[in-house]
Amino acid sequence: MASFLMQTIREYTREMTNNGLPSFGAEIDPVQLRDQIEVAQATMPLQPGVTYESCELTGIEAELSIPSFAREDAIIMYMHGGGLVCGNARTSRGYAGMVAGESRIPVYSFSYRLAPENPYPACKDDCFAAYQAVLKKHPDIPVCLIGESGGAYLCITTTLMARDAGIQMPAAVVLSSPIIDFDTGAVDHTGYGYDEITVTVDGIRAISNCYVPDTTRRTEPLCSPIYADYTGFCPTYVAWDKGETLAADAEALVGKLLAARVPVKYKRFEGCFHAFAPVGRNTPESSELLDDSIAFMLEHLHDQSFEDEED
């Protein structure tokens, strides 16, 4: 059973949605969603002891959350959620700062291009370009990726592109409520979403129409990663709520990772909601997820070797 605090947040979210709060249903208004997330960010408390430094990653607006007594042996990149239609570096500050403060690792967040103005593959390409820029800024330093929902999808595509390009792979990837199928039918959502309060099957269809209007491209592995080969993928942690619609995607992803013999840990929460990770220390469940996420990244930080392999 969910904690009292989680139940309170769920009911508040449900009430706000019923009273007109933008959500991911059959009708999506990206402008309204962007305005709403800006308002929410303005009232979000910031992590004590973390400073925020504006920067750019190959021309992409970014922000670096720097914790007090920051470690110098690792970097985290946070890829924000928002259905690939809303969010930016500034609105990522709350969760990015929390991860930085709790892990003592600097965290980059950034403003990838958003749909529908910039459909696939724009944000995917931006995230990979930003990842390459971070590698260049921090040579021979392990980099971890973390993201929820659409941001989790972008963590997946960035890792696949790094593998295929033969460059340094992330040390670890942490995914909350990932979407891996943009309405191709490869993931069956029947029986899922029985406790959903934000993202419905109709919402997935609407997001897909915004992000990938060219339906002929939806089966590309970097568009819908359900079609990807995960051989050689990096250690991955996946978390989701059992009652959410995208539980189907998370379970399908874990199945593919296990089949490819990828080091993977996963956790099904119950009584929460889609992409609840940014709630952070405000509920026992999200606090547990934050602890698990940081522990997983720390566990795998130095599994990589950057030594020169030449004789």
The CATH code of the domain that includes 155 is 3.40.50.1820
CA distances, 43 to each of 46, 85, 94, 253, 286 (Å): 9, 21, 10, 34, 19
As a whole number of angstroms, the distance between CA 251 and CA 178 comes to 10
Question: Which residue intervals of the chain are DSSP H helices?
Answer: 4-18, 30-42, 93-103, 122-137, 150-165, 201-211, 247-259, 284-300
Chain CA centroid to CA 49, Å: 24
As a whole number of angstroms, the distance between CA 191 and CA 300 comes to 35
Closest CA to 233 of 169, 139, 299: 169
| Residue 22, both tokens | 């933008």
In a domain? residue 307: no
Number of domains composing the chain: 1
In a domain? residue 202: yes
| Domain of 182, in residue numbers | 4-300
Q: Specify the 3-state DSSP secondary structure of 268.
A: strand
Half-sphere exposure of 145 (CA within 13 A, CB side): 35
> Which residues, 6+ apart, have CB-to-CB distance to 84 below 8 Å?
114, 115, 123, 150, 153, 154, 207, 210, 211
In this prediction, residue 44 carries a pLDDT of 77
Residue 38 burial class via C-beta count within 10 angstroms: exposed 0-12, middle 13-18, buried 19 and up: middle
Contact 144, 174 (CB under 8 A): yes
As a whole number of angstroms, the distance between CA 188 and CA 210 comes to 21
| Residue 109, both tokens | 């967040």
As a whole number of angstroms, the distance between CA 203 and CA 189 comes to 12
In a domain? residue 174: yes
Tell me, yes or no, if the pTM score tops 0.85: yes
> Which residues, 6+ apart, have CB-to-CB distance to 295 below 8 Å?
none
Per-residue model confidence as pLDDT tens digits over 140-188 = 999 999 999 999 999 999 999 999 999 999 999 999 999 999 999 999 9
In a domain? residue 305: no
Give the number of other Cβ atoms within 10 Å of residue 214's Cβ: 10
In a domain? residue 203: yes
In a domain? residue 308: no
Percent of the chain with pLDDT over 90: 83
Is the pLDDT confidence value at 192 over 80? yes
> Mean pLDDT lowest for which of 33-47, 66-80, 214-228?
33-47
Per-residue model confidence as pLDDT tens digits over 199-238 = 999 999 999 999 999 999 999 999 999 999 999 999 999 9
